[in-house]
Amino acid sequence: MKKYLRIFTMLAATGMLAGIFVYVFVINKSHPDYAAARADYALNAGEIFEAYRSDQAAASSLYDGKIVELTGQLTAIENADNEAYLCFVLDEGLFGPEGVRLHLLKSENNKVSTLQQGEWVRIKGYVTGYNETDVLLEHGSLVQ
Amino acid sequence: MRTHQFVLTMVLFLALGGEAFSQKFATKTGTIRFYSEAPAENIEAINKQVNSALDTQSGDFVFKVLMKGFQFEKALMQEHFNENYVESHKYPNASFVGKINNLSEVDFSKNGTYEATVSGKLTIKGVSKDVTEKGTFEVKDGTIGGKSIFYVKLADYGVEIPKTVMKNIAETIEITVDVSMISLNK
């Protein structure tokens, strides 16, 4: 009887541990730390913009969903609803300026005041794609 | 896919295009939120890089959103959304191309909030459907805010929810569009 009880207890404990593991590391796993993550690619803003414009399918398969580090000349800093966006304008289109747009992480917003338009900066972000006007990045941060 | 994008670009061009139009308003920082209320859990996702444009003369109104730009509270939900449900690698964006039906009742030159109905084609996961939705336009000191809450039945757009998670995801989800557009005139 004791033997069965011990087996049952072990199985129950194992099941509970597996459940906790699945809950914490699978169901409730946290988003990556984008600011600390290693970039999959490093290039300049003009290169990634031209890559999407010249062959969107090829560029999408390469960069969509990846973290890239970009170097570029900051053209504008926009604010909307307490969110900050860094813009690298590389062309003019039907909807106005086109280029690369980075939505900054909230934790990076305090760095915006140190930036100047026209300054060369290195940024990092998660590429969500190209919407036929701009290459868009989320979870953006400034690379020191 | 390329043909679809080309047609969409042409529609956008015809609807809003060229320097001839003098009443174009647009934003690249619009917001689209979707909300699913189901017995097991409620799920919300927000995208804050929505492109939207409005021609106040013709009433043409468009928006376009990249699916990978939707942010979820839980990373796993975001993965399932992109990989299993909307297949964002195959269908990277969703869009709406339409027109204000009651344009004569909206005075874009005067501050105020105006009720409007907009009809057009909503495209999600490569499936386009004719829709007519209500919303408001708020004109305030040269900016135009557009807001609408509407409901989308996922099955209508080919989004299949496996039986195992039916209690976690609603069949019909609430979409909230919120854009604040400025004049493109220089």
A82 or A29: which carries more pLDDT confidence?
A82
Phi, psi of B7 (to 5 degrees): -60, -45
pLDDT, averaged across chain A? 91
Query: What pLDDT does B71 receive?
Result: 96
**Pure H helices in chain B:** 2-16, 75-80
Q: Which of A28, A57, A101 sits opposite B49 (nearest CB)?
A: A101
User: Considering only CA atoms, which of B66, B64, B65, B53 is closest in space to residue B14?
Assistant: B53
Query: What pLDDT does B132 receive?
Result: 98
Query: What pLDDT does A12 receive?
Result: 84
Search chain B and give the residue with CA nearest A83: B48
Search chain B and give the residue with CA nearest A130: B66
Q: Which of A56, A127, A134 sits opposite B28 (nearest CB)?
A: A134
**What is the tens place of the pLDDT at every residue in A55-106?**
999 999 999 999 999 999 999 999 998 999 999 999 998 778 999 999 999 9
Search chain B and give the residue with CA nearest A96: B184
Distance from CA of B69 to the nearest CA of A (A): 5
Question: Which chain A residues are closer than 8 Å to B184 by Cβ?
Answer: 95-96
**What is the tens place of the pLDDT at every residue in B79-99?**
999 999 999 999 999 999 999
Chain A residues interacting with chain B (CB cutoff of 8 angstroms):
26-32, 56-57, 60, 64-65, 78, 80-81, 83, 85, 94-96, 101, 103, 127-129, 131-134, 136, 138
Q: Which of B17, B64, B82 sits opposite A131 (nearest CB)?
A: B64
Query: What pLDDT does A22 receive?
Result: 66
Question: Which chain A residues are closer than 8 Å to B12 by Cβ?
Answer: 94
* CB contact (8 A) between residue A128 and residue B26: no
Kindly list the averaged pLDDT for each block of 10 residues, start to end, along chain B of length 186. Answer: 45 47 85 95 96 96 97 93 94 97 96 98 98 97 96 96 89 97 84
* CB contact (8 A) between residue A64 and residue B180: no
B164 or A138: which carries more pLDDT confidence?
A138
Per-residue pLDDT at A107 exceeds 50: yes
| Percent of chain A residues topping a pLDDT of 70 | 94
Residue type (1 letter), A100 = V
Three-class SS of chain A: CHHHHHHHHHHHHHHHHHHHHHHHHHHCCCCCCCCCCCCCEEEEHHHHHHHHHHCHHHHHHHHCCCEEEEEEECCEEEEECCEEEEEEEEEEECCEEEEEEEEECHHHHHHHHHCCCCCEEEEEEEEEEECCCEEEEEEEEECC
Mean pLDDT of the region A46-61: 97
Q: Which of A29, A65, A136 sits opposite B49 (nearest CB)?
A: A136
The answer to whether the beta carbons of residues B175 and B46 sit under 8 Å apart is no
What gap in Å lies between CA A64 and CA B29, rounded to an integer?
20
Query: What pLDDT does B165 receive?
Result: 86
Per-residue pLDDT at A20 exceeds 90: no
Query: What pLDDT does A23 receive?
Result: 67
Phi, psi of B83 (to 5 degrees): -85, -40
Q: Which of A26, A60, A81 sits opposite B92 (nearest CB)?
A: A60
* CB contact (8 A) between residue B75 and residue A103: no
Query: What pLDDT does B173 receive?
Result: 96
Distance from CA of B184 to the nearest CA of A (A): 7
All domains of chain B in start order, with CATH = 2-16+23-183 (2.40.128.110)
